[in-house]
């Protein structure tokens, strides 16, 4: 096994993730506690903190996944260290602006700031402007970062090679690591999503400066093109890590072949249309686009998921798998992807969405594939990386306990969302009215499960943190 030196940016990204994630998780626990009827004096903070939790989690895991993939791909290609530093600085500036608008301005339009809400809330206008500036800084930084990683891939592979088209033509030379294929697919789609964010922000600024209103339907389409696609691609970046790491632990290669190439090229073709499923309740969206939304949701998720999960099972079947904190989390992440994916496919079915739209089923499915999918993939990689660099002895009992607490906490937390969603408890209610009082019980249980998860994460942090410290300060 070859070990590459971790760049200082990667170590910074790991530290930033380890600081921000528990804080944002605590914010999430606060939200469910308020919904359970607790902390009555802090109820007015529900929506500003919901905004922070949403934008924060989406942002943290996009940059964490990008950092992890950049680090892993540096085995094959050469991302620019300067761009890595710019991404770090831009993200920190964006986060600072976000904190200002939430804590000083109480901006509370939610993580996808659906038009025209930023201009209509009770917060001061400067808070909305600061939020839009934060989105601009983050979007521009991530666009440049994505383009740089694409450039690095382009410096080594042609486009047809990077997209594995030679496998589709029946040739297996030159050999292409699946991680490069998946990252190329994800980055091209990420550039589209981020460009959509640019168009969206330009329209916001046009209204701000020239007073010319925008078409709400256009703005909602752009919002979900940007937001949904970016979240989707965060997951795919995590899967690129899985393809590259599982073989390390299984001791078997996991190579690109025609099936893998076909499924991921399908993703590139279709993932940009999947967001239409967010528009099912918008009667002004033509019916044809709604049908495309359902088909694209199925087609962008199922082939890649089936191929990857079956591939992973075949890879690990009857092999001397080396289980540790990293490999266990990465393997469990595939289960999170599958379970959350089924929840997502159900929700993207028009006849089911009529019942489930804007209920807690929606956060149920995206928390499943984000927390038990992306988060497990990325923190699994971070552990793997820190362990690879230090080779410290592993405390199996602590690692098993950390995984157990995180799994029980996470799935208990999801179950409360799914059950409440199935009983039509709406999302984004700070306080449940009398008719929905039973939603508070689910919220209380969810807060307890989330705290259990956080406890498990702290144990994970202790295990990974000491390895990170050893990398940063080798003498200690």
Partner 1 sequence: MSRTRRRAAGLVLAGAVVAGVAPRLAAAATTRPNAAQVARAESRLGGRTVPDIPVTLADGRRVQLADLWRDGPLLLTFYYRRCTGTCTPFLEWVRDAVQAAGGLGSDYHVLALTFDDSETTADLRAQAAALRLLATPDWDFAVAAQADVARVAAAVDFGYRLDPATLQYDHDSLLIGIDRGRVVRALFGTPEGNDRLRELVWELRGVFLPVYRVPGNTLLRCFRFDARSGRVRLDWGLFLLVLPGVGAICLALLMFAGAGPYRRVRLTGPGAAPTPGRQ
d(CA 150, CA 154): 6
Please select the residue that binds partner 1; options are 285, 349, 387, 424, rule is CB under 8 A.
285
192 is a site residue for partner 1 (CB under 8 A): yes
171 is a site residue for partner 1 (CB under 8 A): no
4 is a site residue for partner 1 (CB under 8 A): yes
391 is a site residue for partner 1 (CB under 8 A): no
d(CA 96, CA 80): 25
368 is a site residue for partner 1 (CB under 8 A): no
Those residues whose C-beta lies under 8 Å from the C-beta of residue 96, and which sit 6 or more positions away, are: none
Q: Are 315 and 252 in contact (CB under 8 A)?
A: yes
Please select the residue that binds partner 1; options are 157, 204, 243, 369, rule is CB under 8 A.
157
214 is a site residue for partner 1 (CB under 8 A): yes
DSSP 106-136: ---STTTT-TTHHHHSSS-HHHHHHHHHHHH
Structure tokens at 120: 């209509």
Whose CA is closest to 187, among 161, 223, 151?
Answer: 151
196 is a site residue for partner 1 (CB under 8 A): yes
17 is a site residue for partner 1 (CB under 8 A): no
274 is a site residue for partner 1 (CB under 8 A): no
- Contact region with partner 1 (CB under 8 A), list: 1-9, 131-139, 317-325, 412-420: 1-9
Structure tokens at 306: 């089936």
Please select the residue that binds partner 1; options are 134, 135, 176, 461, rule is CB under 8 A.
176
122 is a site residue for partner 1 (CB under 8 A): no
Cβ proximity to partner 1: between 43 and 390 the closer is 390
d(CA 183, CA 190): 10
- Contact region with partner 1 (CB under 8 A), list: 45-53, 81-89, 217-225, 335-343: 217-225
d(CA 457, CA 423): 30
81 is a site residue for partner 1 (CB under 8 A): no
Burial class from Cβ neighbours inside 10 Å (0-12, 13-18, 19+) for residue 248 reads middle
Those residues whose C-beta lies under 8 Å from the C-beta of residue 58, and which sit 6 or more positions away, are: 111, 227, 230, 231, 234
CB of 188 to partner 1, least distance (A): 5
Please select the residue that binds partner 1; options are 40, 41, 170, 286, rule is CB under 8 A.
286
Structure tokens at 296: 């694209």
Q: Tokens 């940009």 map to which residue?
A: 272
Whose CA is closest to 225, among 276, 286, 296?
Answer: 276
Q: Is 175 helix (H, G, I), strand (E, B) or coil?
A: coil
Cβ proximity to partner 1: between 199 and 350 the closer is 199
- Contact region with partner 1 (CB under 8 A), list: 21-29, 174-182, 295-303, 403-411: 174-182
Whose CA is closest to 382, among 3, 9, 18, 7?
Answer: 18
CB of 177 to partner 1, least distance (A): 5
CB of 237 to partner 1, least distance (A): 16
d(CA 116, CA 390): 51
284 is a site residue for partner 1 (CB under 8 A): yes
Q: Are 216 and 224 in contact (CB under 8 A)?
A: no
325 is a site residue for partner 1 (CB under 8 A): no
213 is a site residue for partner 1 (CB under 8 A): yes
339 is a site residue for partner 1 (CB under 8 A): no
What residues between 406 and 425 interact with partner 1 by CB under 8 A?
none
* Binding positions for partner 1, rule: CB under 8 A: 2-4, 74-78, 119, 125, 129, 147, 150-151, 154-159, 161-162, 173-177, 188-189, 191-196, 198-199, 203, 206-218, 221-222, 225, 255, 272, 283-286
């Amino acid at each position: 096994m070859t070990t590459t030196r971790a760049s200082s940016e990667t170590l910074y990204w790991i530290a930033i993730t380890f600081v921000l994630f528990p804080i944002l998780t605590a914010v999430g626990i606060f939200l469910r506690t308020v919904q359970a009827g607790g902390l009555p004096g802090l109820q007015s903070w529900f929506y500003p903190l919901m905004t922070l939790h949403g934008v924060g989690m989406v942002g943290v895991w996009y940059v964490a996944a990008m950092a992890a993939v950049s680090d892993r791909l540096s085995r094959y290609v050469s991302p620019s260290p300067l761009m890595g530093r710019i991404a770090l600085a831009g993200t920190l500036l964006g986060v600072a602006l976000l904190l200002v608008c939430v804590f000083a301005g109480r901006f509370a339009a939610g993580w996808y700031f659906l038009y025209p809400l930023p201009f209509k809330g009770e917060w001061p206008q400067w808070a909305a402007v600061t939020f839009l500036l934060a989105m601009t800084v983050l979007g521009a930084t991530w666009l440049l970062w994505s383009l740089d990683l694409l450039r690095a891939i382009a410096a080594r592979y042609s486009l047809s090679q990077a997209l594995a088209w030679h496998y589709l033509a029946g040739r297996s030379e030159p050999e292409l690591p699946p991680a490069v294929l998946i990252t190329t697919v994800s980055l091209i789609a990420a550039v589209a999503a981020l460009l959509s964010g640019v168009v969206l922000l330009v329209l916001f600024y046009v209204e701000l400066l020239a007073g010319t209103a925008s078409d709400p339907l256009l703005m909602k389409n752009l919002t979900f093109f940007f937001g949904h696609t970016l979240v989707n691609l965060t997951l795919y970046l995590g899967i690129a890590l899985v393809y590259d790491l599982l073989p390390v632990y299984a001791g078997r290669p996991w190579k690109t072949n025609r099936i893998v190439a076909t499924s991921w090229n399908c993703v590139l073709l279709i993932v940009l249309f999947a967001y239409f499923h967010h528009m099912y309740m918008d009667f002004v969206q033509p019916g044809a686009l709604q049908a495309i939304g359902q088909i694209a949701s199925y087609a962008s998720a199922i082939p890649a998921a089936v191929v990857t999960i079956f591939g992973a099972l075949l890879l690990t079947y009857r092999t001397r798998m080396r289980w540790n904190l990293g490999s266990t989390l990465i393997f469990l992440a595939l289960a999170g992807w599958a379970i959350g994916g089924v929840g997502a496919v159900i929700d993207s079915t028009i006849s089911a969405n009529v019942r489930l739209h804007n209920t807690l089923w929606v956060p149920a499915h995206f928390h499943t594939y984000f927390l038990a999918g992306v988060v497990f993939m990325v923190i699994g990689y971070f552990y793997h990386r820190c362990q690879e660099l230090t080779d410290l002895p592993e405390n199996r009992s602590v690692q098993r306990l950390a995984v157990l607490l995180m799994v029980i906490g996470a799935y208990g937390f999801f179950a409360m969302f799914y059950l409440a969603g199935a009983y039509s408890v709406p999302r984004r209610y700070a306080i449940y009215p009398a008719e929905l009082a039973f939603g508070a019980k689910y919220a209380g249980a969810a807060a307890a499960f989330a705290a259990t998860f956080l406890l498990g994460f702290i144990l994970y942090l202790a295990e990974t943190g000491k390895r990170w410290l050893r990398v940063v300060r080798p003498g200690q």
